[in-house]
Chains A and B, each alone.
Chain A
């Protein structure tokens, strides 16, 4: 089908261009790695039970899923910048005048970003293991699945919003205003359950909160419970809604 062929064409182009700037891969990974190395060890000194569980290994099982979401949040929401410069270079219009499926201009890029993020996530988990993370292999795959869904959703929205705004100056503050509160409300560093009632209430609006909780359940070896079900539902819902909104922007007759 032409949609898949076209997605692959766009994917190959952007994957090739990314390989030409490998620094970007490391750059996106730098922040979560720093948190892992310089902040993670602090968590292992917290009184047992604070993070749920009773050993130092539990601290890593708590923290690594949070960092994976942080990686996804920042890595995927910032991809929009690239499409603004591509638009300015006339590349988006050049593609739109070819018979290529216009949705592929989005899906090819998103596919590239998803694969990039999975590679980064695997690296992050491996460094986590070096620091003392012990988790079932199946749980790591579950968390990668979540990361894929998060990346699909966030990258789609990022590209669409960026393409509507067409200005880095407008896009940058918007991204920061949205991402930082979402990150704080997701309980990446510390469990939201430590917070006062009102904060826990607000945190309910962050979809990532449910996803992180589900990932932590998996790392603790629990796959079949309501927390996991909620997480899966939220992650799939997020991806579908965002992809739908993104496709509307890219399929618009006039963009």
Chain B
């Protein structure tokens, strides 16, 4: 049985007498122990869905069962079983008080879950170690670095050892190093504690690197779900780019006849082949060249990125990719940022992330 299961979850807001359907009907299922990324363009209903699943917003329709507790009938039960780490950037921040000490935040959080003093102290200690915060007990929150503060916020979401944790944009605003460091911590959550992780992100490489599965939401409905690889495969095949010594047009004509080649085009003197499974097609392609006596000067394989998936499914690109611009315009001008990021993400997403 899925640990998170939502059916027809919807939320309508009334704004100036007009009804706004922020979320129209979200169906999703997350299995125990999964790390699932929830992606969507700006305004797609990501945050609203997350707020409904974490009992901050009551759905106007639909239902969900989280870790065995019914969202509508037993919201307190849901709260007991989930951890929530709010977005740290935007209208509201990640939930820590500048003037509080690190250890006080952990102890208070444990108390809010009615965990006894001794046990709370023990868990706080454990979490400080697990999240590389050891020795910072007596530091005021305002003196922490961005990455430390974020790890503290995640620690707060884990004090009661929840089976499910919701992370809203966990790495937004962090520098690349802190981000990959945080990814390690999130992976460890699953491997060490078996925690199910449901996270929203707008970093495609984050979804690629971290998530077992991705759920894409657009216009308030879930439009696709699958592993990053599955989704990429759905969209379009891999692209093999070749430079041949000899007439490129002949090579194109020859390869276009091969059943594994879906499409063959020539651009800038290069031969571009679209194939279904790049790594399996390469040897076959090479044999074809050998048989025809054509020499290859260079060959490269590139695979579609999640952004291509996005573009195909939603007609929009995920708006943003650079931490610096994510810091400011959270809800503003998605268009220019999206154009820039689409190009950037293709360049930035190296093959390493694809496995």
Contacts and interface: CB of A to CB of B under 8 A. Distances in A.
Contacts of B93: 88-90
B80 interface: yes
Given A89-B92, A93-B86, A93-B95, A99 B56 contact: no
B112 A9 contact: yes
A190 interface: no
Contact of A21 (B57, B79, B94, B99): B99
Contacts of A6: 112
Interface string B127-162: 000000000000000000000000000001000000
Interface string B85-115: 0111001111111111000100011011110
A98 B341 CA distance: 36
Nearest to B86: A90
Interface of B: 54-58, 76, 79-80, 82, 84, 86-88, 91-100, 104, 108-109, 111-114, 156
A20 interface: yes
Contacts of B156: 94
Contacts of B109: 94, 98
Interface string A1-43: 0100110010001001100110000000000000000000000
A86 interface: yes
Contact of A98 (B91, B92, B94, B113): B113
Interface residues of A, number: 25
A156 B280 CA distance: 68
A93 to B, nearest CB: 6
A93 B112 CA distance: 13
Main secondary structure of the interface of A (DSSP, over half): helix
B10 to A, nearest CB: 14
Contacts of B88: 90
Contacts of B111: 9
A98 B97 contact: no
A99 B79 contact: yes
A254 interface: yes
A95 B58 contact: no
Nearest to A254: B57
Main secondary structure of the interface of B (DSSP, over half): loop
Contacts of A98: 79, 109, 112-113
A90 B99 contact: no
Contacts of B82: 97
Contact of A99 (B80, B86, B92, B99): B80
A25 to B, nearest CB: 15
Given A17-B99, A97-B55, A5 B92 contact: no
16 contacts: A9-B108, A13-B100, A13-B104, A16-B104, A17-B99, A88-B93, A89-B93, A90-B87, A90-B88, A91-B97, A94-B109, A96-B56, A97-B56, A97-B84, A99-B113, A253-B57
B51 to A, nearest CB: 8
B73 to A, nearest CB: 13
Contacts of A90: 86-88, 92-96
A251 B87 CA distance: 23
Contacts of A13: 100, 104, 108
B95 A254 contact: no
A95 B94 contact: no
Nearest to B80: A99
B54 A99 contact: no
Given A90-B94, A91-B97, A94-B156, 13 more contacts: A9-B108, A13-B108, A17-B100, A20-B99, A88-B91, A89-B95, A89-B98, A93-B56, A94-B109, A97-B54, A99-B76, A99-B80, A100-B112
